[in-house]
Structure 1
Amino acid sequence: MLTDMKKDLNAKLTRGTQRTLDAFFDAMTTLLAEKSFADISVNELCERAGYPRATFYNYFEDRDDLLTYCWIALSRQTNSADLTAVDSSRRVDVALDSMADLLESNNALLHAVLAHNPPEGPLFASLHRFIEHNARRLMLTCVDRNRFDLPADLIADHYANTVLLVLDWAYLRGQTLTRAQLHDYTHALLRGVE
């Protein structure tokens, strides 16, 4: 997903580039808290960010590309643990906590965005794809390849989909769960392969 963007976010960014990315990130998140993603135009984004359209298109293909950048920027705010260093019995919990931390640390923004963008709409479809991509990559490190006869990719998909289901239920559908409950629900749903 990082390779689809015009800017290589894995390369060292200049201060000017980071300032421009931050301005467009702020513009997008501010507008998302005010209106539907479908109603946000590139012109509005440029006006809010304080940059001309040419600058926008130097950095992004379109609004969806900027939205992907926003998900990347938000995900970098969390403490993403090296799961290979974590005991295999705790890897799913650590990965789940990392993703839950991201949602909880952006709770006010999430609620403001939910007010204008329904969970079944295009904005949350984009978020779901981003989280699913990262969860699948993260969960691949959770799979104990010696315990299962199934392909590791299939098990990682199952883990990622289960974690996403629990996170969606807790954070997007408004169920109030403690961390212990998040862990318990996830493990109860995963028992078919654990």
Structure 2
Amino acid sequence: MKKDLNGKITRGTQRTLDAFFEAITALLAEKPFADISVNELCEHAGYPRATFYNYFEDRDDLLAYCWTALSRQADLADLASTAPEHRIDTALDAMADLLESNTELLRAILRNNSSEGPLFSSLHGFIERQAREIIRTCIDRDRFTLPADLIADHYANTVMLVLDWAYLRGHTLTREQLHDYAHTLLRGVE
């Protein structure tokens, strides 16, 4: 992304980012990602192509921004202060909350975009990277003999697998079931 989002963002910048975010989510509810052009995005957002390219390299860059914007909705700030035995449940709940709060959008997007296609590959990659980073920072390193990065990858992949099963593949699970599935799959390292 061409704009640095780590510093203070002006209202004008946020308004532009929001317009492109809303444009791509609206278009994804209507058609596959592969069929969305930069021109359509700009028309829908109400900005010229030059503005799009001032903010983003391409459509994939906009998509990466969208994942980042959505992830900010997840409440993961206090994960490191959570007791180690509850961290996986807390991370799983935060990600599940995010998916559930966007259920209608997710359903609309799933109607037009295969869960095996580039859109969901991008989403999977983003969630896995985020989960690894989150879990890597709060692994109880004294509890395991394996390298923390390896355990973080295993935990992140397991969390992603359970979320994928429940939210992208359409298996309705309660929170208790989500937790039970994750813990059952993780027993090999616990």
TM class by shorter chain equals over 0.9
Q: Please state if 1:64 is matched with 2:60.
A: yes
Q: Deviations over 1:27-71 (max 9, x none)?
A: 000000000000000000000000000000000000000001111
Aligned length: 190
Moved more, 78-87 or 67-76: 78-87
CA distance in 1: counterparts of 2:59 and 2:5, whole angstroms: 17
Kept after mapping to 2: 8 A contact 1:159/1:190: yes
CA RMSD after TM alignment: 0.7
Q: Which runs of 5+ in 1 are unaligned?
A: none
Q: 2:17 pairs with 15, 21, 24, which one?
A: 21
Q: Which amino acid counterpart does residue 129 of structure 1 have in structure 2?
A: G
Identity of aligned residues (%): 76
Kept after mapping to 2: 8 A contact 1:33/1:112: yes
Q: Please state if 1:47 is matched with 2:43.
A: yes
CA distance in 2: counterparts of 1:109 and 1:80, whole angstroms: 22
Alignment of structure 1 residues 24-173 onto 2, 5 Å: 24-173=20-169
TM-score, reference length from structure 1: 0.96
How many Å apart are 1:141 and its aligned residue?
Answer: 2.9
Following superposition, which runs of at least 4 residues in structure 1 exceed 6 angstroms of deviation? none
Q: Which runs of 5+ in 2 are unaligned?
A: none
TM-score, reference length from structure 2: 0.98
CA distance in 1: counterparts of 2:75 and 2:143, whole angstroms: 28
Kept after mapping to 2: 8 A contact 1:81/1:98: no
SS in 2 for 1:146: helix
Q: Deviations over 1:111-168 (max 9, x none)?
A: 0000000100000000001100100011113421111111100000000000000000
How many Å apart are 1:78 and its aligned residue?
Answer: 2.1
How many Å apart are 1:107 and its aligned residue?
Answer: 0.4
Q: Please state if 1:189 is matched with 2:185.
A: yes
Q: Which amino acid counterpart does residue 148 of structure 1 have in structure 2?
A: F
Kept after mapping to 2: 8 A contact 1:92/1:142: no
Q: Which amino acid counterpart does residue 17 of structure 2 have in structure 1?
A: L
CA distance in 2: counterparts of 1:74 and 1:83, whole angstroms: 18
Q: Deviations over 1:70-127 (max 9, x none)?
A: 1111111222232121111100100000110110000000000000001000000000
SS in 2 for 1:80: coil
CA distance in 2: counterparts of 1:79 and 1:143, whole angstroms: 18
